[in-house]
A = this chain, B = another copy of it.
């Protein structure tokens, strides 16, 4: 197929028990693209402000990432996020958010990318996700991310979005909030029934749950590691690994979805071993495949 991602390119400042990094590269589309590019060519759509340092774009160099949809907008400022993680680092504490360019018109998908068949709509307002989706001419596999804010404040839009996409990824707290179901299996089932083919519930250190509209279920623990330095981008990297693998498959079925989620899991486990996208300076597809086999060993009985 052909994989497109719409999302943010951000400047993050992050503090964890293992250090801190000021003004480093972040953003959902960034993490997603680099993760997915280990599997398949990626088309990135997003916008930054005129303050965005060009050297940050070096992360895309030498990777199969089409950045023609990356708009540098004059007069605008890049989205910035400042956060910290404590303890088990399962959830970030947001210290500051400067939405900046996110409050303006979303970027436009370039003509050359509108035929993308495989699409990841990273977290943003569901109405914007729908608007982006409508620019595509032949989407076949559309996965959207969302968050608590949209579940609470724009639920109607979100439910509309679910009629138009193949699948949703969200975390366990959000799945419970969305449905009012405390049991996660029940919650996942209820979300699928809103009009999806499948849902992927991310449980952080506890791994991932897949539920399909055939009531097929897959549960996978996270890759067991104590080498976590910075969980930022784990979810988008997970989605990148999953979608990157799926984009290369001729059929989306339970076995390919399972393997895609396993790839997403190990890709996420790599990126969180360092701040920002630094881990990708050395980690490559061989490291991903090696870790996939380790993960399989670790769960097999």
Q: Is A299 an interface residue (CB 8 A)?
A: yes
The CA-CA distance from A241 to B298 in the complex, in Å, is 20
Chain A, interface size: which category?
A: 35 or more
Closest chain-B Cβ to A196's Cβ sits at a distance in Å of 18
Q: Is A261 a contact partner of B88 (Cβ separation < 8 A)? A: no
Which B residue's beta carbon lies closest to that of A296?
A: B301
User: Which A residues from 279 to 301 make CB contacts under 8 A with B?
Assistant: 296, 298-301
Interface residues of A: mostly helix, strand, loop or mixed? mixed
Judged by a CB distance under 8 angstroms, whether A228 is at the interface is yes
- A-to-B contact residues, CB < 8 Å: 17, 86-89, 176, 182-186, 189, 203, 205-207, 209, 217-222, 224-226, 228, 255, 258-259, 261-262, 296, 298-301
Give the docked Cα–Cα distance between A176 and B205 (Å): 14
How many copies, total? 2
Partner of A301, one of B183, B189, B224, B261: B261
* Interface hub of A217, A221, A228 (most chain B Cβ within 10 A): A221
Q: How far is the CB of A264 from chain B (nearest CB, A)?
A: 11
Given the complex, which residues of B lie within 8 Å of A207, measured CB to CB? 206, 219, 221
